[in-house]
A and B are shown apart, each in its own frame.
Chain A
């Protein structure tokens, strides 16, 4: 990639739009998943009893439902990301490529 191309793409408002939108989107989602998981880990680390709290009369505790929920929510976040990335971000990327296609 030559300097001219680098300069041109960097100055392209669509490129700035793509990177700022995508980076903030993926950062937000990452923080969400990290908070959820480390919240879970910190509870295990410092207060195991919190996960031993019973649901009703029987043996069931909150532990299994919470574990399962983290798995399901993690999957849903990947769907949310890809839905936006494979449409909006992909279109922006393609239009940036179009703008510089003479230089490629």
Chain B
């Protein structure tokens, strides 16, 4: 196995060389950044090798054997959440529009308390490998698994595109490598981490990255505030002075334009968190409900702190990059790499080449860790839900299941690369917003109702879940973003940028309707078995690894 890793690393280096060949006319190579970058790659490959030696069973592969502590899991969740979209996207959005970026940050965060109050411990008590285990607990396995696999894969794909775009841009700036090669490099690395190291490697890479990222942004925030005598007001005053939009960066503005879009976006951000497969999966890596709860507290704390600093960094980027000294970061009047790269350029302003190297390596690590988690979630859904349970009716051997999972990782990696190249110029926080909308419309209603509503039936879930998913996907395609900006039609059929308000409502109503009108014998049985499920959800009695006495 190690030979394969070496081989793939060589491929990666070859890709760097290929990038160098087309280097002329791009930015100077940043040597310290490249050294940091390789230290990171070597370190994480080491972790992967260690994790691979400990990953034997399917449970090891999917959930790190359930042996992660609440604190570690909180870090890993924070790591998953502090993705490229959060770090590069939100700081870029604040850089462009001011306060609108913070609206995203607030929306991303408030999902967490609600997950804790209503879902976290119940997820732990009912699930095993994927969130589908919960929805399928008392409903018919086949239909629910198929539905949830569609939901998971749609969310994973969209989220993956956003991360790929961020990674590609970053490497492009850092090494002057072509965007396409950069995206391919990320794809290759990610496939290596996930196929060999599984959840254990993914979790540890995530934890290490979370620590590095939090330290990095703390330093950046500190340096920015230090230039303004630690007064947020002075910083804001300077930002308003220098920004084209002036005072309007201090209030919600154009990006969130009409009421329907605002409500819809709020709904997507908040409920979407509770439907992200790679986040939900993390609740199965801890031993019991108590640890599951603790992990949410740690995660919320780290994520909240992170967003507060991002607000400072975003405003700092406005001030420093628009100053005369900031002109070197522009090319033909445009920020090199686009607004998504504002935080990266700012790191160079406040900390020079070495810190730029550090932040770039961390940002790259961030993307890599998040795409690994996503890919693992997508692959589990194919191998565990579709292959092992639907196709083999639960009779597949663990070895076969893992094999299918690893192959799925490779396929998802390739798809991610292709789409990453296709969506090069989209704002990444916005792409993630769409992923959240689909998660909120397809996965969240199924999961929520299966935990709390005794009258839920397979028919209701299957039909209603697909209605939610399709409504979200179709409305996204008909929205201005895809219909006008990507497909170049003059006007959008669906006028709003965010579909969640309509698609979440459609999902809940149709699940309700097709459940209560389901008078079949199967439905009767499903309703009767709610009591047993609810007792397990409330107490953890009967849950894997949760019965400790």
Q: What residues make up the interface of A, taking CB atoms closer than 8 Å to B?
A: 1, 5-6, 9-10, 15, 18-19, 22, 26-27, 29-30, 33-34, 36-38, 40-42, 44-46, 48-49, 51-52, 58-61, 63-64, 67-68, 70-72, 74-75, 77-79, 81-82, 85-86, 90, 93-94, 96-98, 100-101, 104
Contacts and interface: CB of A to CB of B under 8 A. Distances in A.
22 contacts: A9-B541, A18-B539, A19-B538, A27-B117, A44-B256, A45-B258, A45-B259, A59-B236, A60-B250, A61-B251, A63-B251, A64-B102, A64-B236, A71-B106, A81-B117, A81-B293, A82-B297, A85-B293, A96-B541, A97-B541, A97-B549, A104-B541
A41 B296 contact: no
A85 B539 CA distance: 12
Interface in B259-290: 259-260, 262-263, 265-266, 270, 289-290
Contact of A1 (B236, B252, B535): B535
A99 to B, nearest CB: 11
B181 to A, nearest CB: 38
Ranked nearest first, the 7 interchain pairs of A and B with the lowest CB-CB distance are A52-B251, A45-B259, A41-B266, A26-B117, A45-B262, A61-B250, A59-B240
A29 B113 CA distance: 8
B62 interface: no
Nearest to B306: A71
B539 A74 contact: no
Given A48-B251, A59-B240, A15 B538 contact: yes
Given A67-B102, A67-B106, A85-B121, 14 more contacts: A1-B535, A5-B541, A6-B531, A37-B270, A44-B266, A48-B251, A51-B251, A58-B233, A60-B236, A72-B308, A78-B113, A81-B293, A82-B296, A93-B538
Interface string B517-549: 000000000000001100110111110000101
B538 A71 contact: no
B489 interface: no
Interface in B91-117: 99, 102-103, 105-107, 109-110, 112-114, 116-117
A1 B293 contact: no
Nearest to A68: B308
Contacts of B301: 75, 78
A51 B99 contact: yes
A57 to B, nearest CB: 10
B340 to A, nearest CB: 21
A15 B114 CA distance: 23
A77 B311 CA distance: 22
Contacts of A74: 109-110, 112-113, 300, 304
A67 B251 contact: no
- DSSP majority for the A interface? helix
Interface residues of B, number: 58
B547 to A, nearest CB: 7
A48 B106 CA distance: 16
B384 interface: no
A37 B237 CA distance: 27
Given A60-B250, A71-B308, A6 B233 contact: no
Contacts, number: 172
A74 to B, nearest CB: 5
Nearest to B535: A9
A78 B112 contact: yes
A63 B252 contact: yes
B247 interface: yes
A48 B539 contact: no
Nearest to A96: B539
B294 A86 contact: yes
B116 A81 contact: yes
B535 A93 contact: no
A77 B538 CA distance: 21
Interface in B123-149: none
Contacts of B311: 64, 67-68
Interface string B479-521: 0000000000000000000000000000000000000000000
Nearest to B101: A67
B61 interface: no
Contact of B114 (A33, A68, A104): A33
B395 interface: no
Given A94-B549, A97-B549, A78 B297 contact: yes
Contacts of B541: 1, 5, 9, 96-97, 100, 104
B546 to A, nearest CB: 10
Nearest to B265: A41
Interface in B283-331: 289-290, 293-294, 296-297, 300-301, 304, 307-308, 311
A44 B103 contact: yes
Nearest to A72: B304
Given A48-B251, A74-B304, A82 B116 contact: yes
B113 A1 contact: no
Contacts of A42: 263
A49 to B, nearest CB: 8
Given A59-B250, A77-B113, A81-B116, A71 B304 contact: yes
A63 B289 CA distance: 37
A71 B105 contact: yes
A78 B536 CA distance: 23
A81 B307 CA distance: 22
Contact of B116 (A41, A78, A97): A78
A81 B265 CA distance: 27
